[in-house]
Amino acid sequence: MPEPPYLRIDTHVHVALLGPEPPPTRPVTANAPFMEPQPERGGMTLEMRHSAPLAVFLFYNKIEPHELSDTLLRQRSLDNIAHSSFNYVVCLALDAVYSPAGERRPELSSMWVSNEYVLELAAELKAMLPPEEQSRRGILLGASVHPYAPNFRERVTWCVDHGAVLLKWLPSAQQINLADDRVGAALEFLATARQGRPLPVLLHVGTELAILTTDPKTTSYDFLSWSTWDRFWNRLRPSEARWATPDLTGVRRNLDRGLNAGGCLILAHCGLPYFAPNFFKKWLEHSDFKVVREYLERHRGTDGIRGKCFADVSAVVTPFRKSYFDDIRKLPPGSVLAASDFPVPVFELSADLGENLEDLGAILNGEFERIIVPEGNLLDVNWRELQHAFPGHPMFENASQII
């Protein structure tokens, strides 16, 4: 098959570390004691290690829970990328939680991954590749620095000097209140952090179901809207599990502060619900798609408006999110990015009769995972399914605008 006339770049790929065996997560309180320092590369809480999302990720990657180790996670990450058809994959760090007072709190992070670990993976992958491929393939640093960190600017500058191509924030899990003034200041700084050019912010938008927060109230920190139905469902939750009502005025003020300075935002997953199909999205699950569309239409980098917004289609190749494909096609084509959110599950939505019959035969032979786990490299499966659903769409080339 001939090479495409553009670089294949997946801008949304996660990596993870277990770290040492941690104690159970402590509740969030103002005077909670600090744990001993975590290892410098990353870790997970016991709750995250035994969570349903992690079990799904392991199943999709054909990893038995009893085999799980940092060595295996590292090797699988490298193997999946090395044996994919991608030129570049942006692997995402995830900074630890910081308290509102600016104190680093790794013990309140269900999962965290250091920027240094991603750089180590990049160096190891480069060593695995033949010399002729090292200049056109590799791992790119999707850095993560918490905006509450007192040394935010210094750490971001270090990341840029080491090749960072974007900055990842997952507000709920990292417990980042987007209405906090420090977020606006951080976004303004990031607008020129890459030698005068913006360092894009990959911002999770919508409900997060994979990397869970240790503080239930911050679940809504990912939201750009708050509907009547959100308020209704929130009243039904026990008081200790109730989500915070987001300060949307403050959130928009901070996002606009960064965009007006010339910044770049990537709104992950188009803000879509994960389980609720299109018809039921207003009633069953939170959706930020409408707000995402508004941001994309307003900030296309044209008409003299500073700043630019993109939305990625990571984790949309699922049976439920398929019902939103027509809505995605109506978004400004130059503002959509193809991506995977690996290792989040991907489904072969385009499977033809022959493939279905092969799967049936495998199931009859006892290979029950073939019901939902595609064969082949999952990064490539996701890209292929997106190409089938959105043939000829600029989303496959748009990453070159920001990378």
The per-residue pLDDT for 275 is 84
User: 304-350, pLDDT tens digit by residue?
Assistant: 568 999 999 999 999 889 999 999 999 999 999 999 999 998 888 88
Domains: count for the chain: 1
The per-residue pLDDT for 30 is 38
In a domain, 31, yes or no: no
Distance of alpha carbon 305 from alpha carbon 216, whole angstroms:
37
Range of the structural domain that residue 229 is part of: 9-26+37-401
Distance of alpha carbon 97 from alpha carbon 109, whole angstroms:
5
In a domain, 3, yes or no: no
Nearest Cα neighbor of 12 from 151, 140, 177 is 140
In a domain, 216, yes or no: yes
User: Residue 141: helix, strand or coil by DSSP?
Assistant: strand
Q: Phi then psi for 269, rounded to 5 degrees?
A: 65, 15
The per-residue pLDDT for 284 is 77
Distance of alpha carbon 178 from alpha carbon 256, whole angstroms:
12
Nearest Cα neighbor of 97 from 48, 165, 166 is 48
Query: Which has the higher per-residue pLDDT, 167 or 376?
Result: 167
The per-residue pLDDT for 381 is 94
User: 162-201, pLDDT tens digit by residue?
Assistant: 999 999 999 999 999 999 999 999 999 999 999 999 999 9
Q: Phi then psi for 42, rounded to 5 degrees?
A: 150, 180
Nearest Cα neighbor of 165 from 91, 255, 262, 77 is 91
In a domain, 2, yes or no: no
CA 149 vs CA 55, 97, 104, 156, 218: distances in Å: 32, 9, 7, 11, 18
- 268 contacts 202 by C-beta, under 8 angstroms: yes
Distance of alpha carbon 110 from alpha carbon 238, whole angstroms:
22
Q: Taking 60 as the threshold, does the pLDDT of residue 362 lie above it?
A: no
The per-residue pLDDT for 36 is 37
The partner residues of 308 in beta bridges, in order of sequence, read 264, 300
Distance of alpha carbon 335 from alpha carbon 264, whole angstroms:
11
The partner residues of 113 in beta bridges, in order of sequence, read 42, 94
In a domain, 103, yes or no: yes
Q: What is the CATH number of the domain that holds 259?
A: 3.20.20
Distance of alpha carbon 346 from alpha carbon 52, whole angstroms:
17
Residues whose CB is less than 8 angstroms from the CB of residue 76 and which lie 6 or more positions away in sequence, other chains included: 61, 63
Residue with tokens 């870790």, as numbered in its chain: 43
Q: Taking 50 as the threshold, does the pLDDT of residue 19 lie above it?
A: yes
In a domain, 16, yes or no: yes
Distance of alpha carbon 176 from alpha carbon 114, whole angstroms:
17
Average pLDDT, the chain: 88
In a domain, 298, yes or no: yes
In a domain, 32, yes or no: no
Tell me the DSSP string of 209-246.
-SS--SSGGGGGGG-S---HHHHHHHHHS-GGGPPPPP
- 173 contacts 219 by C-beta, under 8 angstroms: no
